[in-house]
Amino acid sequence: MSDGFAKLKARSRLPDPPADETRNLSAPETAPAAEETEVKSGPAHSNSQEASSPAQAKPRIDGRMRLRKDRTEALSTKIKPRHRELLMELADAYGGTLSETLERAIEALEQQAKREGKRLS
């Protein structure tokens, strides 16, 4: 049986396992200094050249900050970046979530449709 293992090992492309790994296990665990971490993971607009570019004028706010509140239906759609930014700005201005802001916009459009005599089911 060892002859078969020797043949299999000879065909293997894997390197031999390390001879001694105890140094790894006994070595102290270290982490980078806090200052280095901030420099590496700092905001993307920290560079003055990047801050002046029109594409990076505003920091992007993560949508997860606006948590769901008593919502059960999911809506996944694609919209233009301008409308997404406007939706987020409106949510911030009125102090609500994205869902609440979208619901208010839909209700306002519904009222306008009723005033114009549009038939809604």
Q: What is d(CA 12, CA 7) in angstroms, rounded to the nearest whole number?
A: 9
Cα distance between the two ends of the chain = 78
pLDDT (0 to 100) of residue 22: 67
Q: What is d(CA 66, CA 64) in angstroms, rounded to the nearest whole number?
A: 5
* Domain definitions of the chain by residue range: 80-121
**Coil, helix or strand for 32?**
coil
The mean pLDDT value for 4-26 works out to 72
Q: What is d(CA 4, CA 62) in angstroms, rounded to the nearest whole number?
A: 57
Alpha-carbon radius of gyration of the chain: 29
| Beta carbons of 65 and 98 less than 8 angstroms apart | no
Kindly report, residue by residue over 28-70, the tens digit of the pLDDT.
777 767 665 555 555 544 444 444 445 555 666 666 555 556 6
What does pTM read for this prediction? 0.44
Q: What is d(CA 106, CA 114) in angstroms, rounded to the nearest whole number?
A: 12
The mean pLDDT value for 6-28 works out to 72
Averaged confidence pLDDT in the chain:
75
